Amino acid sequence: MSHEQIHQQIEHLREVLNSHNYKYYVLHKPEISDFEFDNLLKELNDLEAKYPEFDDPNSPTKRVGSDLTGEFTQVQHKYQMLSLANTYSDDEIKEFDARVVKGMGETPEYVCELKYDGTAIGLTYKNGRLAQAITRGDGIVGDDVTSNVRTIKTIPLVLHGNDFPAEFEIRGEIFMPRKVFDDINTLREEEGEVPFANPRNAAAGTLKLLDPTVVAQRKLDCFLYFILGENLPFNNHFDNLKKAKDWGFKIPDNNKLCKSVDEVLAFIKQWDNDRKKLPYDTDGVVIKVNSYQQQKVLGFTAKTPRWAIAFKYKAEQVTTQLLSVDFQVGRTGAITPVANLKPVKLAGSTVKRASLHNADQIELLDIRIGDSVQVEKGGEIIPKIVGVDKTQRTLFSTPLNFIANCPECSTPLVKPEGEAKHFCPNQVGCPPQIKGRIVHFISRKALNIDGLGEETIELLFAKGLIRDIADLYLLRKEQLLNLERFAEKSTDNAIKSIEESKVIPFPRVLYGIGIRYVGETTARKLALHFGTIEKIETATIEQLLEVEEVGDRIAQSIVEYFSNPITINLIDRLKLAGLQLKVDESLNQKISDKLNGLSLVISGTFSRISRDELKELIQKHGGKNVSSVSSSTSMLVAGDKIGPAKLEKAQKLGVRIVSEEEFFELIS
Helix (H/G/I), strand (E/B), else coil: 336: strand
Predicted local confidence at residue 67, as pLDDT: 54
Fold of 317-392: OB fold (Dihydrolipoamide Acetyltransferase, E2P) (2.40.50)
Residues 605 and 637 sit within 8 Å (Cβ to Cβ): no
Instruction: Assign 3-class secondary structure to 341-404.
Output: EEEEEECCEEEEEEECCCHHHHHHHCCCCCCEEEEECCCCCCCEEEEEEHHHCCCCCCCCCCCC
The answer on pLDDT for 311 being more than 90 is: yes
Residue 431 has pLDDT above 90, yes or no: yes
pLDDT of 192 reads 56
For the annotated catalytic residues, the residue numbers are 115
Class of domain 74-312: alpha beta
- Confidence band for 643, pLDDT divided at 50, 70 and 90: confident
User: Residue 121 pLDDT > 60, yes or no?
Assistant: yes
The CATH classification of domain 3-62, taken from the options 3.30.465.10, 1.10.287.610, 3.30.360.10, 3.40.718.10: 1.10.287.610
Q: Are 6 and 51 in contact (CB under 8 A)?
A: yes
What is the SS3 assignment for 546? coil
124 falls in which pLDDT band (50, 70, 90)? very high
Residue 83 has pLDDT above 90, yes or no: no
Q: What is the pTM of this model?
A: 0.54
Helices marked H in 443-579? 454-462, 477-481, 488-500, 506-513, 520-530, 533-537, 541-545, 552-562, 565-577
pLDDT at residue 547 in the model = 87
pLDDT tens for each residue of 160-206: 888 999 999 999 999 999 889 888 887 776 665 667 777 888 898 88
Q: For residue 532, what pLDDT is reported?
A: 95
Instruction: Tally the C-alpha atoms within 13 A of residue 114's C-alpha that lie toward its C-beta.
Output: 21
Q: Does the pLDDT at position 587 exceed 60?
A: no
Q: What is the pLDDT of residue 52?
A: 84
Alpha-carbon distance 643 to 649, whole Å? 10
> What CATH class is the domain 431-585?
mainly alpha
Higher model confidence: residue 395 or residue 582?
Answer: 582
State the pLDDT confidence band at 416, using cuts at 50, 70 and 90. confident
Q: Which residues contact 4 (CB under 8 A, 6 or more apart)?
A: none
Average pLDDT over residues 12-37: 73
Domains of the chain, residue spans = 3-62, 74-312, 317-392, 431-585, 599-667
User: What's the pLDDT score for residue 450?
Assistant: 82
CATH of 599-667, one of 1.20.1260.10, 3.40.640.10, 3.40.50.10190, 3.40.50.720: 3.40.50.10190
Neighbour order of strands in the sheet with 599-603: 624-625, 599-603, 635-638, 656-659
| Choice among 50-54, 210-214, 281-285, 312-316 with the minimum mean pLDDT | 210-214
